Amino acid sequence: MRTTTLGGQGPEAGVIGLGCMGMTHSYDMAAPRDDATSVSVIHQALDLGMTLIDTADAYGPYTNEELVGRALTGGHRDRAVLATKVGLITDSVQSANPGSTSPGAARHGRPEHVRESIDGSLRRLGTDHVDLYQLHRVDPQVPLEETWGAMAETVAAGKARHIGLSEATVEEVRRAQAVHPVTSVQSELSLWTRDALAEVLPYCQQQGIAFLQFSPLGRGFLTGRFASFDDLPQDDFRRRLPRFQQNALRANLAIVGRVRQVADRVGATPAQVALAWVLAQGEHVVPIPGTKTPKYLADNAGAADVQLSAADLAELDALPAPQGTRY
């Protein structure tokens, strides 16, 4: 797979990465976990050149980093561009951190939290450094300069090679840049979530900051897998999202139908077309589709070779807006 340099001076990574969240978190939580297959999917990704492996301490919590750490033993660590995140805590992590300031699923940007969390992440990941340490969310209760200063300390300490933000505004990226270079911004971008195209993505392009697109397959919807609310697994986070409610989902199938038409015309799958569209949004973009399924991983890797013409891109640009908000 062709590669790109993250953030100008960052590591070289395949232009499509792998999001590991769904291997232990959010989706299909009632089904038994199949860690052996997940580990083999991570190895398959590395073999195919999808070297950016994305996780977070909040996924599980912790179980996702543990799984990724297990997958990267036995010489695989050096083949990966390992990216994790800090600063978003779920209830169970929060109860272990009684000093936390925010209620519910919380943003947690206090510098001491960053300083402590990196060590836990490194332990679970079985490594002495991560290649990219990302602030999962900016905490409005803590000046970003303080959080980002602590993120920069992880670089100075050799525990992270580079640092990035997630779901940040241009203003927040600018403030962070004034403290320490921002290697990447990770935000949702897909055929049905295009907000980042207005400001954040152009700003990243202009600054040479890598843009990592999360949920590039619309959490699986754009692949055509879900024809009805009942197709969603029990105990699946998507059952709570507005776009997946029965009426909205039915309306949103029109989007998938049009993606499928383009896919049939270019001889690709809908997932590949969705990924080829996000890849076409710029030079510094790296989508991180999530999967725990070998055949989907292979399908997603193939998207790097799908050529969309100007007419295909125009047709996809003109897709109707989805019904329902993101969250």
Ligand X SMILES: NC(=O)c1ccc[n+]([C@@H]2O[C@H](COP(=O)([O-])OP(=O)(O)OC[C@H]3O[C@@H](n4cnc5c(N)ncnc54)[C@H](OP(=O)(O)O)[C@@H]3O)[C@@H](O)[C@H]2O)c1
Q: How far is CA 220 from CA 86, 212, 224, 271, in A?
A: 25, 17, 8, 8
Least distance in angstroms from the C-beta of 293 to ligand X? 3
3-class SS of residue 162: strand
Judged by beta carbon, residue 99 or residue 292, the one nearer ligand X is 292
Dist CA 261 CA 271 (whole Å):
12
Residue 179 C-beta: closest distance to ligand X, Å: 21
Q: Which parts of this chain interact with ligand X (CB under 6 A)? A: 19-22, 27, 54, 136, 166-167, 186, 214-220, 223, 225, 271, 288-293, 296, 299-300
Q: Is 286 helix (H, G, I), strand (E, B) or coil?
A: strand
Active site residue 59: yes
Which residue pairs from 87-93 have beta carbons closer than 8 angstroms and sit at least 24 positions apart in sequence? Answer: 87/113, 87/114, 87/117, 87/135, 87/136, 87/137, 87/138, 87/139, 87/147, 88/56, 88/58, 88/136, 88/137, 89/58, 89/61, 90/58, 90/61, 92/61, 93/57, 93/58, 93/61, 93/62
Closest to ligand X by CB, 172 vs 310, is: 172
- Cα separation, 184 vs 176, in Å, equals 11
Task: Name the active-site residue from 27, 59, 203, 296.
Answer: 59
Residues pairing with 86 in the sheet: 135
| Smallest separation (angstroms) from ligand X to the CB of 296 | 4
- Beta carbon of residue 31, minimum distance to ligand X (angstroms, whole number): 9
Tell me the sheet residues that pair with 79: none
Distance CA 67, CA 256 (A): 32
Cα 171 from Cα 186, distance rounded (Å): 15
Q: Of 75 and 117, which CB lies nearer to ligand X in the complex structure?
A: 117
Cβ-closest residue to ligand X?
19
Amino acid, res. 271? A
What is the closest distance, in whole angstroms, from the C-beta atom of residue 167 to ligand X in the complex? 6
Nearer CB in complex with ligand X: 33/98: 33
- Of 109 and 290, nearer to ligand X (C-beta) is 290
Smallest distance, ligand X to C-beta of residue 256, A? 11
Closer of 298 and 313 to ligand X (Cβ): 298
Q: What share of the chain is helix, strand, coil (3-state, %, to 5)?
A: 45, 15, 40
List alpha helices for 184-245, DSSP H: 200-207
Active-site residue numbers?
Answer: 59
